[in-house]
Amino acid sequence: MAASEEMSSLFPIFILSVLGLFVVPWTIYRVSTAASNKSKNLHCRCSECMRSPKYQTSLLKRIGRVSTFSNVTLVLMWIVMAFLVFYIRASTQENQVFEPFSILGLQSSATDADIKKAYRKLSLLYHPDKNPDPEANKYFVEHITKAYQALTDPVSRENYEKYGHPDGRQGMQMGIALPSFLLNIQGAAGGAVLLGLVGLGILLPLMIAVVYLSRSSKYTGNYVMHQTLMHYYHFMKQSLAPSKVLDVLVKAQEYIELPVRRSDEEPLQKLFLVVRSELNLDPKNLKQEQAKFWKGHPALIKTELLLLAQLTREASSVPAALRADFQQVLQLTPRLLEELMKMAVAARNAEGHGWLRPALGVMELSQSITQAVPLSARKASGVSAAATSGDGVSPFLQLPHFSEGVVKKIGRKKVRTFQELRDMSPEDRRELLTTVGGFSEDEAKDVEAVLEIIPNINLDVFCETEGEEGVQAGDIVTLKAWITLHRPNGLVNCHPHAPHFPYFKDEHYWLLLADTQANSVWVSQRITFTDEAAALSASAKTIQESLEGTGADDAEVSKAVREAVEKVKSGSRLVVAKFQAPAEGIYNLTAFCLSDTWIGVDRKVNVKFKVLKRSRAGTRVVLPSEESPLLEEGSEEEDEDANANDDYDEDYESEYSDDDEVEKEEASKAKSKSRTSKGKASLDKSDGGSSSDESAE
């Protein structure tokens, strides 16, 4: 019984060890995540952002952000661990090595006379006849007497010298780290407890794992339902107009599963009247169009109206009954738009090319939702056409206190584009806004605060076949692109100005290498500027491997790596992608760098790409991409896409569609010229390759 009680003291140690294996790594992860979020919590300081609910830092909000279920659970576990440590220290005693000389207070060189003298002295203090205290009696018997015997009795002295204890070899005690009440259970109660432990320790975790796996199997790694990807793939069309992208976005399974209540009918009717102008209904057949709209899926109707409320900045008009749904729809939107973009650029033909037109439309919709700017603001008509660029007034509307009236006023002062406004000096811009735009000094300062964080994008693209001269048909071509962000305030990463979007959102960019004439995307990659450490490692590794393959010495490699590291630290990111060179010819491609957050900052660069006739031995073949299984299913839809121009919306053109006719004429001229003087066309790079020059926007 005593042995079992002694062994049961190991149970707290066992529980403490199990908790420590889980709590310590979890704490490290939470602390590192919080530190990372705090380091990048740099946001706009304009009055609109400071009034935005997501930036409010009241005491209740701070407590609410910290008092999450995860944090509270973590704190409770640390309290339990601290209690276990205190309990273990109070209930167990550490085994000490038996030292007879130390117990008697002697040196190891003491004589027999010294040993007897010390024993008599301690006997006067601890002997039961002299000291009635039970603890003194116990100490005298278990320590003082054994120490004296170990040094005076021959047998005890021999045991001590051999085994370290006067009683001889000490046996090892083993037990089970369970509490004593479990070890003393007998009969039917023991079986019941055993079944309970098995159920709690084995069956319960197993059931939780089964439920988790069954639910997670419906989602991708980006927490988007597989059913959503199927819907997006089915409804994505090659000629999908930007104004029709919203119709595809709302068909996500997450939106379909939104609760539909009978009480929502009246609030939705009121919201419909507020956002009706953005639905592109035919005014000649308004009643028929409205009736057709309300015949749709109730959840999709609700989602579309809520997204239109965000685009038109009518969030305050959303009834209280729909407020929770409104928040949920906007919370899902960023990752759904990311998956929609991936579906637009997914491989759709044998060459592995995606579609450019819907990809541009997805990015425009993402920008508009983030900045709460209606899609109709991208149209330029009347006075706005003379005072704005191809983006309409939408880039100006992302600035605080701007309206279409203000854009018209400054347009009369020769400020025709958003870039012209950005290029002005702060003094001239403040004078323009205060004298012409009617802004106050504080409002002009708000505009300056936002313009300080809007990035300028530089894009440098180069294509080559590594280790070979020129690019030949069938080669594996390596695309290298340096994307650089320059902000007037010098920051590389910060939260964008988006006071009307209720959640924090990081900036992301997409690099596309596309053939605008064929409406095809050759290369696509998503870029983020939030993780500098990963960008440093990736760029250094890429540069090192590239130069080592060319036979460069260590000094050249080290110098190139240092330059790449400095570029990354100053706000650049290196993008490397590979694709298979097409047939012989000259290709006029376009590289796009598209923001999913800012309007009017996208950059495109013309890339001349010359492919020579195959003369090298061997044939290089590109392995099928991950999206290749979709190709077989999508090939049946290509015939439908060829006739999908009937659905094209002429009322709304993408910001890039204005250049289509000019690019077609230039391409036809270049093609005819290449036919007449084949093999003599001169490019910036000899023997094939590519060069890039920035086009005017």
The Cα–Cα gap between 128 and 261 comes to 86
- What is the 8-class DSSP label of residue 612? B
- Quickly state the pLDDT bin for 11 (edges 50, 70, 90): confident
Query: Is residue 150 within 8 Å of residue 100, measured between CB atoms?
Result: yes
At how many degrees (to 10) do helices 226-235 and 323-344 cross?
Answer: 60
Cα-based distances in Å from 660 to 389, 594, 653: 16, 18, 11
Residue 606 CA: distances (Å) to CA of 145, 583, 603: 97, 20, 10
> Is the pLDDT score of 460 beyond 90?
yes
Q: CB–CB of 434/470 below 8 Å?
A: no
What mean pLDDT do residues 386-397 have? 69
What is the token pair recorded at 222?
């980006």
Sheet containing 456-464: which strands, arranged edge to edge? 456-464, 476-486, 572-580
pTM above threshold 0.75? no
Q: pLDDT at position 640, please?
A: 44
Q: Is the pLDDT of residue 272 over 50?
A: yes
Residue 318, token pair as written in the block: 């959303």
- Residue 186 or 477, more confident: 477
Give tens-digit pLDDT for 84-94. Answer: 888 877 765 54
Mean pLDDT of 235-246: 90
Count of C-beta atoms within a 10 Å radius of residue 486: 13
In this prediction, residue 603 carries a pLDDT of 94
Q: What percent of the chain has pLDDT over 70?
A: 76
Confidence of residue 246 (pLDDT cuts 50, 70, 90): very high
Q: Which stretch, 50-54, 104-108, 260-264, has highest mean pLDDT?
A: 260-264
Higher per-residue pLDDT: 213 or 8: 213
Between 321 and 163, the higher pLDDT residue: 321
Statement: residue 665 has pLDDT above 70: no
Place of tokens 């790449």: 564
pLDDT-derived band at 596, boundaries 50, 70, 90: very high
State how far the Cα of 422 lies from the Cα of 236, in Å rounded to an integer: 36
CA distance 124 to 130: 6
In whole angstroms, give the CA distance from residue 357 to residue 370. 20
Res. 134 pLDDT band, cuts 50 70 90: confident
Terminal-residue alpha carbon distance, the chain: 87
* pLDDT average, residue stretch 148-162: 75
